[in-house]
Amino acid sequence: MGFDTAEGDGTVTENAAIRTVVVDDLKLIRQGLRLLLADEKVVEVVGEADNGLDAIAKVEQLQPDVVLMDIEMPTLNGVEATRRICDRFERVKVLILSVDDDEEYVAQALRYGAAGYLLKNTPADEIAFAIQAVHKGYMHLGPGIGQKVIAQLPDPALHAPQRWKKLTPREQEILQLIAQGANNREIAQRLCISEKTVKNHVSSILHRLDLRDRTQAAIFASNSKLAVSN
C-alpha cells in the first residue's frame, strides 16, 4: 500500500508510492539502493544526487516526499544539506542513511530537522518501513541510535543550582508550588498575593530559566530536587 501527499495541504493519502530522492557520493551505493527499493511497492526512487548542493537542487526540481541522505559527501555534507532542505522545504522529510553513527553527527542531523537516522547495513525492507514512518510524521531511529541521542541530551539537573539562583526568593517559592501541582489561584491564596502577580512571576520564571511552559518548570524543579512536599 502506497502513501502520497495531497497537493497544497500535506495530507497523506493512500494512492501512490512515496517519492524518494537518494543522496550519496558513491554511484554504486545509489544504484544499489535504487535496486533494493525497486521491490518495495511503497517507495519510488525519483532521483539521485551525489552531494549536498545537488540534493538541494533535486529537491527543488522534483519535490519529493522523502530524501534518503548520506552524511559524508564532497561540496556540501549531508548534515548541512539537511539543515538547508528542512529550512526551505517544510513538507520534505530527510532520513539519514550513513555508515557513520558518530554521536555528534546523529545529534546535529536531528537538531537540523532530520526525521530519522539509519545505518547503511539496514535491510531494504526496514529502510522502506522507515521511509513510510518519516513520511507519515514519525521519527525513526535505527538500532542503537536512540541511545546515542539520549547520551547527547543534557542532564536536566545539570547546573540546576546556578539556574535556581537566577530566581528571586518569591519566584523560588512559586516554582516549588508549581512543582507540587498548584494552579495560579491556589498559589495566590497560599502566598496572599493576587493571581495577576502570580502570572507575572510565572512568566518571569519561564523567561529566566529558558523554559517553555509550567510543565517544563515543574519537571525542572522536580528533577533538581528543589520541590518540597506538602
pLDDT in tens, 8-66: 344 444 558 899 999 999 999 999 999 988 888 889 999 999 999 999 999 999 999 99
**pLDDT at position 164, please?**
81
Separation between Cα atoms, residue 62 and residue 92, nearest integer Å: 11
Helix, strand, or coil (residue 12) = strand
Separation between Cα atoms, residue 211 and residue 216, nearest integer Å: 6
- 4 band by pLDDT with thresholds 50, 70 and 90: very low
* Count of C-beta atoms within a 10 Å radius of residue 48: 19
**pLDDT at position 68, please?**
96
Question: Residue type for 127, please?
Answer: I
Torsion angle defined by CA atoms of residues 119, 102, 158 and 168, in that order, rounded to the nearest 10 degrees: -80
Least confident span in 131-145, 147-161, 168-182: 147-161
State whether the Cα torsion 207-212-218-219 is positive or negative. Answer: negative
End-to-end CA distance of the chain: 55
What is the CA 131 to chain-centroid distance, rounded? 15
pLDDT of residue 182 exceeding 50: yes
pLDDT of residue 3 exceeding 50: no
**pLDDT at position 111, please?**
83
CA neighbours within 13 Å on the CB side: how many for 44? Answer: 14
* Count of C-beta atoms within a 10 Å radius of residue 17: 19
Question: Is this structure's pTM higher than 0.95?
Answer: no
Residues 6+ apart with CB under 8 A from 194: 188
Residue 13 burial by CB count (10 A; 0-12/13-18/19+): exposed, middle or buried?
exposed
- 94 band by pLDDT with thresholds 50, 70 and 90: very high
pLDDT of residue 176 exceeding 60: yes
**pLDDT at position 223, please?**
67
- Where helices occur in 63-194 by DSSP H, the ranges are 78-88, 103-111, 124-135, 145-152, 160-164, 169-179, 184-191
Phi, psi of 192 (to 5 degrees): 60, 45
Grid coordinates standing for 83? Answer: 539543515
